[in-house]
């Protein structure tokens, strides 16, 4: 190629073989975008008339934001997975353990799932008439305390997300760019533009939906970074994705970012309950630190809740006065050879005793009372059969359903991250993902349920009703709270808003 000359809004390149002409907007000088002239063609610039330019068609596709594979729960990210709304899994037994033997969507009500993910989306899009469900991201604003009282550096590096380009028709590397637009100056996405060639470089992949439908797509890992700096988001915000080619521009995707102008605080009191001959006091400090890390940075942060471990203390039941009937009935449950140990009763007994004798008992009121703003986690090294943990409270008709503010982890669950977080999820008002509610006891019926043991949700179980393991357990990937759960947890009565 010879020298590049820029004339007005055109670029002309000379070479021995040909002169290449490109109009404004074709800055990439891709082969496909060029018009070749023979070198013998004499070009008189001021009289030159551009050859009839073949209009380039913007290829049809959708763009989705996705969570990277190494996700640990360090921010909230939720989207409709294919298997929630398409019949992709063979279900042997339903949630009541009845034979099912059909291939079904994991969610009980597909329309309700779709409606849930569109809730709070102010400007829904239907690119090329296709239904589109944005993914939801939740990140803490990175601010100092002057900019925002509850400022945090929790997500100062933002979230590094994958991008997926889903073909509606076959795309080609024609210089089409993706443009990301955020109207909020405090919500930034980088880069702001990506050539689709970068996504195509990853190679086309195919996944299958029912009835032989193929989804052809490209994924660029860690393609974009989304960060919220200097001021919190007062509303749910959106980042729009446009596909642009020449002067053609179409909105082809969207990321919703959850508002974060209120950061509720969740205070946790960790109490190691020991009794005669118990070894529970030997739980080491590293374990406790790990607990706090899990609460603070790998789970409840997804709902933009700041978890704080307030106290780390021991409570030895064997030192309590035996003239107290509550003490003797607790010990009776523990040691009586005539009775089978009742773990739920044990938690109730420990709560009652802790309210009387505990070092960090709630001031003015009971643990499960409305005034208490602390969630008590009692750790016990007692074996309770297959039970990992249990939660206080049975529901409350007057105030819809609310669990109590305490739970106990038994021996089997002590080393188990998922159990610790799962029980705390109950104490923040979450049901199991597979629970159909129980209106008679105050449990509202959720809009939809999942088949047990098939999701990566912290409120799912680690096994399926047919006895198989939840597939996410093997990689320790039960790490998600879904967007509708963020909404529920953030309203829990035990959270502290003024601090
Ligand atoms: Zn549970």
Distance, CA 100 to ligand 1 centroid (Å)? 23
**What CATH number is attached to the domain comprising 387?**
3.40.390
Determine the pLDDT at residue 147. 94
Domain C-terminal end among 233, 257, 281: 257
Name the burial class of residue 34, with classes exposed (0-12), middle (13-18) and buried (19+) by CB atoms within 10 angstroms of its CB: middle
Q: Report d(CA 451, CA 460) in Å as an integer.
A: 9
Distance, CA 464 to ligand 1 centroid (Å)? 14
Determine the pLDDT at residue 394. 54
Do 205 and 342 lie in one domain? The reply is: no
Query: Residue 180 domain-assigned?
Result: yes
Determine the pLDDT at residue 457. 97
Determine the pLDDT at residue 397. 35
Distance, CA 331 to ligand 1 centroid (Å)? 26
Determine the pLDDT at residue 1. 40
Determine the pLDDT at residue 166. 98
Query: Residue 10 domain-assigned?
Result: yes
Distance, CA 377 to ligand 1 centroid (Å)? 14
Do 40 and 151 lie in one domain? The reply is: no
Do 280 and 188 lie in one domain? The reply is: no
Do 335 and 423 lie in one domain? The reply is: yes
Distance, CA 417 to ligand 1 centroid (Å)? 13
Distance, CA 95 to ligand 1 centroid (Å)? 14
Distance, CA 231 to ligand 1 centroid (Å)? 36
Determine the pLDDT at residue 420. 82
The pLDDT profile of the chain, 499 residues, written as one tens digit per residue, is 444 433 334 444 444 444 444 444 443 344 333 444 445 455 445 455 555 556 789 999 999 999 999 999 999 999 999 999 999 999 999 999 999 999 999 999 999 999 999 999 989 999 999 999 999 999 999 999 899 999 889 999 999 999 999 999 999 999 999 999 999 999 999 999 999 999 999 999 999 999 999 999 999 999 999 999 999 999 999 999 999 999 999 999 999 999 999 999 999 898 989 887 665 555 556 666 788 889 999 999 999 999 988 877 889 998 999 999 999 999 999 888 888 899 989 999 999 999 999 999 987 788 888 788 888 999 888 888 888 888 776 544 333 345 678 889 888 888 778 888 888 888 788 889 998 877 666 667 788 999 999 999 999 999 999 999 999 998 889 999 999 999 999 998 889 999 8
Query: Residue 157 domain-assigned?
Result: yes
Query: Residue 468 domain-assigned?
Result: no
- Domain residues for 19? 4-47
Distance, CA 389 to ligand 1 centroid (Å)? 8
HSE (CB half, 13 Å, CA atoms) of 381? 15
Determine the pLDDT at residue 325. 95
Distance, CA 428 to ligand 1 centroid (Å)? 12
Determine the pLDDT at residue 218. 98
Distance, CA 35 to ligand 1 centroid (Å)? 66
Domain C-terminal end among 257, 277, 293: 257
User: Minimal CA–CA distance to 161: which of 261, 61, 241?
Assistant: 241
Domain C-terminal end among 257, 285, 316: 257
Determine the pLDDT at residue 279. 59
Do 251 and 307 lie in one domain? The reply is: no
Do 217 and 296 lie in one domain? The reply is: no
Average pLDDT, the chain: 85
Q: Exposed e or buried b for every residue in 411-427, given b needs 16+ CB within 10 A?
A: bbbbeebbbbbbbbbbb
Distance, CA 348 to ligand 1 centroid (Å)? 17
Query: Residue 448 domain-assigned?
Result: no
Do 271 and 191 lie in one domain? The reply is: no
Do 209 and 354 lie in one domain? The reply is: no
Distance, CA 386 to ligand 1 centroid (Å)? 13
Do 238 and 299 lie in one domain? The reply is: no
Determine the pLDDT at residue 78. 98
Residue 477 CB contacts under 8 Å (≥ 6 apart), including other chains: 456
User: Minimal CA–CA distance to 403: which of 447, 372, 362?
Assistant: 372
Residue with tokens 């610039």: 45
Distance, CA 459 to ligand 1 centroid (Å)? 6
What global pTM score does this model have?
0.83
Distance, CA 76 to ligand 1 centroid (Å)? 21
Query: Residue 110 domain-assigned?
Result: no
Distance, CA 246 to ligand 1 centroid (Å)? 54
Do 329 and 230 lie in one domain? The reply is: no
Query: Residue 324 domain-assigned?
Result: yes
Query: Residue 211 domain-assigned?
Result: yes
Distance, CA 356 to ligand 1 centroid (Å)? 27
Distance, CA 456 to ligand 1 centroid (Å)? 14
Do 225 and 175 lie in one domain? The reply is: yes
Distance, CA 306 to ligand 1 centroid (Å)? 22
Distance, CA 178 to ligand 1 centroid (Å)? 43
Number of domains in the chain: 3
Do 282 and 251 lie in one domain? The reply is: no
């Amino acid at each position: 190629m010879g020298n590049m000359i820029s004339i007005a809004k055109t670029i002309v390149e000379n070479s021995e073989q040909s002169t290449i002409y490109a109009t404004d907007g074709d800055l990439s000088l891709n082969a496909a975008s060029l018009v070749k002239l023979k070198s013998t063609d004499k070009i008189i610039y001021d009289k030159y008339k551009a050859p009839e330019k073949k209009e380039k068609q913007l290829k049809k596709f959708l763009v989705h934001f996705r969570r990277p594979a190494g996700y640990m729960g360090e921010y909230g990210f939720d989207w409709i997975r294919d298997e929630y709304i398409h019949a992709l899994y063979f279900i042997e037994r339903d949630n009541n353990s009845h034979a099912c033997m059909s291939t079904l969507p994991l969610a009980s009500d597909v329309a309700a799932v779709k409606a849930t993910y569109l809730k709070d989306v102010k400007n829904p899009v239907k690119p090329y008439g296709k239904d589109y469900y944005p993914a939801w991201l939740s990140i803490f604003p990175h601010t100092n305390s002057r900019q925002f009282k509850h400022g945090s550096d929790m997500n100062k590096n933002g979230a590094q997300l994958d991008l997926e380009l889903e073909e509606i028709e076959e795309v080609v590397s024609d210089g089409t760019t993706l443009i990301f637009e955020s109207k909020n100056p405090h919500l930034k996405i980088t880069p702001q533009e990506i050539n689709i060639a970068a996504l195509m470089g990853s190679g086309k992949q195919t996944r299958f939906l029912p009835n032989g439908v193929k989804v052809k797509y490209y994924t660029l890992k860690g393609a974009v970074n989304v960060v919220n700096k200097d001021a919190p988001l007062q509303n749910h915000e959106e980042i729009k994705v446009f596909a642009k080619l020449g002067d053609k521009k179409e909105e082809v995707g969207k990321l919703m970012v959850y508002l974060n102008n209120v950061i509720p605080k969740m205070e946790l009191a960790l109490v190691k309950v020991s009794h005669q001959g118990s070894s529970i006091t030997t739980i080491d400090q590293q374990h406790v630190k790990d607990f706090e890390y899990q609460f603070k940075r790998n789970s409840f942060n997804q709902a933009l809740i700041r978890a704080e471990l307030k106290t780390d203390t021991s409570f030895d039941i064997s030192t309590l006065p035996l003239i107290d009937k509550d003490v003797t009935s607790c010990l009776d449950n523990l040691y009586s050879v005539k009775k089978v140990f009742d773990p739920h009763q044990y938690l109730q007994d420990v709560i009652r005793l802790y309210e009387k004798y505990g070092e960090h008992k709630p001031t003015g009121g009971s643990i499960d009372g409305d005034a208490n703003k602390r969630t008590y986690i009692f750790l016990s090294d007692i074996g309770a059969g297959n039970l990992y943990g249990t939660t206080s409270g049975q529901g409350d008709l007057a105030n819809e359903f609310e669990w109590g503010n305490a739970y106990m982890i038994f021996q089997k669950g002590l080393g188990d991250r998922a159990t610790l977080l799962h029980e705390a999820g109950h104490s923040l008002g979450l049901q199991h993902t597979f629970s159909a509610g129980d209106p008679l006891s105050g449990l509202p019926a959720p809009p939809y349920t999942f088949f047990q043991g098939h999701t990566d949700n912290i409120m799912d179980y680690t096994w399926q009703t047919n006895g198989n393991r939840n597939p996410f357990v093997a990689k320790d990937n039960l790490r998600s709270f879904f967007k509708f759960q963020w909404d529920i947890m953030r309203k829990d009565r035990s959270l502290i808003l003024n601090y």
